[in-house]
Amino acid sequence: MSNALAASSHPARPAIAWIGLGIMGSPMSENLIKAGYDVTGFTLEQDKLDRLAAAGGTAAGSIAEAVKDADVVITMVPASPQVEAIAYGPDGILENAGSGALLIDMSSITPQTSVDLAKAAKDKGIRVLDAPVSGGEAGAVEAVLSIMVGGEQADFDIAKPIFEALGRTIVLCGPHGSGQTVKAANQLIVAVNIQACAEAVVFLDKSGVDLKAALDVLNGGLAGSTVLTRKKDNFLNRDFKPGFRIDLHHKDMGIVTDAARNVGAALPVGAVVAQLVASLRTQGDGGLDHSALLRAVERLSGTQV
């Protein structure tokens, strides 16, 4: 184990490699830089590497270059195939990170992918945490994410100062894969909540009620939610600039419905919402924010602009 990872035995902050600088990864890596960490990043888009460098990070030319001297490697990519692509193979993380490094995968992937990654990494002397997040782009920018973690307590304790620079609610949920299981449940709740909000918006609109006033009062009572707080302006302004894309929520709904089937859990409402998300995607709206579920309800109601 490197000195930087020996917790209280050394005051130095660990050197961090960050792989994946998308909507979430860029602001998250920048928050670590603001917190005083040395961050070396890699992604496929040059403009995002330039953004990292402008924020005070170091741009790497490859995964191997980014991780070779890192104490902690953090990954934030779209799905299981991308995690596997960057983790395995001669150019991947496991072949190029040093023994004793801690790999924190913050992507939203299947629980089984996380379990398999932890097993493969152990053979290389690399520890792993699965640590998906909730809070969307705004939560990433504001460093108020919820972080649900799977793995060993000792590794969680080492990683916690890093998590505290990224989020507000940070919980070790159990062994490897547990973080991803909780994230799948999170995505189920969020999708159903957005769908309910979208249906309420169309109902209120067609009833001629002052929509802003109605959403304000609803959000002050039992119907209130973080989803409504975060997405109210999207609904009011029909602004669906992606903070979390329908494409990604479609992937996540596939994860939760498949995982639920494997454990024998019925998701009757979740299954319907998964189909509505899939339908919106096939209609060409996959690149929009998941609040665009409103568009699907408006289409069904004959009111879409």
34 is known as an active-site residue? no
89: Cβ contacts below 8 Å, ≥ 6 apart: 95
The one catalytic residue in 34, 68, 124, 183 is 183
Between CA 192 and CA 176 the distance in angstroms is 27
- CA gap 4, 13 in Å, rounded: 6
Residue 127, SS3? strand
> What are 229-236's contacts with CB under 8 Å, separation 24+?
230/136, 230/138, 231/194, 231/197, 231/291, 234/289, 234/291, 234/294, 235/197, 235/198, 235/201, 235/211, 235/291, 235/294, 236/211, 236/212
Q: Which amino acid is at 81?
A: P
The total of other beta-carbon atoms located within 10 Å of residue 298's CB is 19
Q: Which residues contact 174 (CB under 8 A, 6 or more apart)?
A: 150
CB-based burial of residue 289 (10 Å sphere; 0-12 exposed, 13-18 middle, 19+ buried)? buried
Query: Catalytic site residues?
Result: 183
